[in-house]
Amino acid sequence: MNGNGTDAAPDKKRGTDVLIRNNVKVLGLGSRPMLFAHGFGCDQNMWRYVTPAFEADHKVVLFDYVGSGKSDRGAYDPAKYATLDGYVDDVLEVCESLDLRDVVFVGHSVSSMVGVLAAAKAPKRFAKLILIGPSPCYINDGDYVGGFERDDIEGLLQMMEKNYIGWASFLAPAVMQNPDRPELAGELEESFCSTDPIIARQFAKATFLSDNREDLRHVDVPALIMQCSEDMIAPNVVGEYVHRHLANSTLRVMSATGHCPHMSHPDETVSIMRGWLDG
In a domain, 76, yes or no: yes
The catalytic position among 68, 71, 97, 109 is 109
**Torsion angle defined by CA atoms of residues 11, 15, 17 and 22, in that order, rounded to the nearest 10 degrees:** 160
In a domain, 146, yes or no: no
In a domain, 65, yes or no: yes
In a domain, 24, yes or no: yes
d(Cα 61, Cα 184) in Å, to the nearest integer? 24
- 245 as an active site residue: the answer is no
d(Cα 81, Cα 79) in Å, to the nearest integer? 6
The catalytic position among 38, 58, 108, 259 is 259
Exposed, middle or buried: residue 108 (CB in 10 Å: 0-12, 13-18, 19+)?
buried
pLDDT of residue 12: 58
- 109 as an active site residue: the answer is yes
Work out how many domains the chain is built from and give that number.
Answer: 1
> Which residues constitute the domain of residue 44?
12-138+212-278
**Torsion angle defined by CA atoms of residues 149, 152, 156 and 159, in that order, rounded to the nearest 10 degrees:** 160
In a domain, 27, yes or no: yes
In a domain, 32, yes or no: yes
The pTM score is: 0.93
DSSP string, the chain: ------SS-S-HHHHHHHHHHTT-EEE-S-SSEEEEE--TT--GGGGTTTGGGGTTTSEEEE---TTSTTS-GGG--TTGGGSHHHHHHHHHHHHHHHT--SEEEEEETHHHHHHHHHHHH-GGGEEEEEEES--SB-B-BTTB--SB-HHHHHHHHHHHHH-HHHHHHHHHHHHH--TT-HHHHHHHHHHHHHS-HHHHHHHHHHHHT-B-TGGGGG--S-EEEEEEET-SSS-HHHHHHHHHHSTTEEEEEEEEESS-HHHH-HHHHHHHHHHHHH-
In a domain, 246, yes or no: yes
pLDDT of residue 56: 96
Tell how far CA 242 is from the center of its chain. Answer: 15
The catalytic position among 58, 191, 231, 262 is 231
Walking along the chain (279 residues) 10 residues at a time, the average pLDDT comes out as 39 76 96 97 96 97 96 96 97 97 98 98 97 98 96 94 92 93 94 93 96 97 96 96 97 97 98 96
In a domain, 119, yes or no: yes
Least Cα distance to 204 among 171, 232, 249 occurs for: 171
pLDDT of residue 9: 42
Q: What's the CATH number where 25 sits?
A: 3.40.50.1820
pLDDT of residue 269: 98
pLDDT of residue 124: 94
pLDDT of residue 223: 98
